[in-house]
Amino acid sequence: MSAKSLTKPFIFSLLILPITFVAVMSMKGAAAASALTMTLFAATVMVELFAVAQFVRVRRAFAAGDAGYLTWTLIVTFMIIRLVAEGRLLTLTYNLVPEYRDGASSTLYFYIIVLRYLYTLSDLLFIGALVTTIRSYKITGLPFKLLRVDYLYILALCTLPVVTFIFRGNLMQAAIANPDGYMMVYRLVAVSVGAVIASLCIVVRRYASQMGGGAVARVWNMVVVAGVARDGSFLALALISGWSKPTATFVEQYLLWTFACCWLIAALYQNAVFARAAASPEVAVAESLA
Amino acid sequence: MMHERILGYLAPVLGEATANNLLKHYCIKMHITVEEITPSQVPELANAMRPMMAVWLGTAGAMRAAEEIARMGKGA
């Protein structure tokens, strides 16, 4: 499986999924539309499983002392923790665990409320991976610099948690699984961490663009799209759920689908980088022209 | 021209700007002009560039890339 062969079906899915959702919603109603969202969630988890296998391959290609080793170790850990969190959410989505109510057992409280923060923990590891990537660019001593406009973008991103806080009432209403009273706090934490991720993504995007193309830049451009899609999912949920809960959960899941696919494509691009470096100059040039 | 061949190999992986900057950086270090790299200087240049290439390609990838670049000098 190559990144190129996966990109076209991914773009096709981005076009066909909203059309399918609108068709199902208008012809079969909200319940069928929610079922479609749940199916998309299960498909997203499958893509994340494929992605983590690719991450492990990439990590193995770096030696322990390489700058990329720490970055990809953090990425592998980030995705494994995220998958554990997704496993928990699957059990809630398909009602395999009872709903949380005030006065429920401490085990249920731990499982439903506390383990929710596994997502936050995984996001912190994602932040670590982005920081080590930025550091890798800087230690080369080559001229990778932020522009003034980047600081404006970062400033704009800092307003995301504020916007989410203003619309915080909506965060209680929308959840793919059963919402509870603690959901709002979690989502506010998540969107704040997400804003940090998106800010760091701006830095990585700028450095990648300053590389002047190439396979390495493609890897980090995909990671940036993944990071922005993750943060966008929270914002979309906050903005849309007051209007339509099924649409809000679908848009959230659609952005998470984008997040998962971009990660998988990024890992495949990174594996292609190693393959190209190992190819003879004639093959490498011919591949780049193909 | 030797530098064009090296850039032709590096640019698809590292990008045109990075490949250019990388080559210039190490040519300055070795007190040689980019346009006047001779085949005999290529193996040493490739070896010098290895640590920086390892940032993106890993130690093993950078080693292979350096070998390929060094081979260009020997084949010229």
Could you tell me which of A74, A85, A116, A84 has the C-alpha nearest to residue A223?
Answer: A74
**What is the predicted pLDDT for the residue at A243?**
81
**What is the predicted pLDDT for the residue at A164?**
77
Residue listed under structure tokens 């990425």: A75
Q: Which of A93-107, A153-167, A175-189, A231-245 has the lowest mean pLDDT?
A: A175-189
Share of chain A above pLDDT 70, in %: 92
Write the single-letter amino acid at B57.
Answer: L
**What is the predicted pLDDT for the residue at A282?**
58
- Tell me which H or E stretch contains B26: helix B16-29
* Cβ contact B13–A63 (<8 Å): no
* Cβ contact B15–A217 (<8 Å): yes
**What is the predicted pLDDT for the residue at A283?**
56
Considering only CB atoms, A284 lies closest to which of B12, B15, B56, namely B12
Could you tell me which of B17, B31, B19, B25 has the C-alpha nearest to residue A141?
Answer: B25
**What is the predicted pLDDT for the residue at B54?**
92
Burial of A167 (0-12, 13-18, 19+ CB in 10 A): middle
Q: What is the DSSP letter of A114?
A: I
Determine the structural domain holding residue B43 and report its residue range.
2-75
**What is the predicted pLDDT for the residue at B1?**
81
Residue A26 has pLDDT above 60, yes or no: yes
Task: State pTM to two decimals.
Answer: 0.87
Banded pLDDT at A281 (limits 50, 70, 90) = low
What pLDDT, in 10s, does the model give residues A109-163?
999 999 999 999 999 999 999 999 999 999 988 889 999 999 999 998 888 788 8
* Cβ contact A280–B16 (<8 Å): no
Residue B5 has pLDDT above 60, yes or no: yes
Number of domains in chain B: 1
Banded pLDDT at A175 (limits 50, 70, 90) = low
**Calpha distance A232→B76 (Å, rounded):** 52
**Calpha distance A270→B15 (Å, rounded):** 14
User: Structural domain boundaries of chain A?
Assistant: 3-289
Considering only CB atoms, B52 lies closest to which of A140, A211, A279, namely A140
How many CA atoms lie within 13 Å of A33's alpha carbon, on the beta-carbon side? 22
What pLDDT, in 10s, does the model give residues A233-245?
877 877 787 788 8
Averaged pLDDT, A255-259: 96
- Mean pLDDT score across all residues of chain A: 88
Residue B42 has pLDDT above 80, yes or no: yes
Residue A172 has pLDDT above 70, yes or no: no
Banded pLDDT at A7 (limits 50, 70, 90) = very high
* Cβ contact A139–B55 (<8 Å): yes
Write out chain A residues lying below 8 Å of B70, CB-based.
none
Write out chain B residues lying below 8 Å of A65, CB-based.
59
Cβ neighbors of A12 (< 8 A, separation 6 or more) are none
Could you tell me which of A89, A90, A113 has the C-alpha nearest to residue A101?
Answer: A113
Averaged pLDDT, A72-94: 94
Averaged pLDDT, B46-52: 92
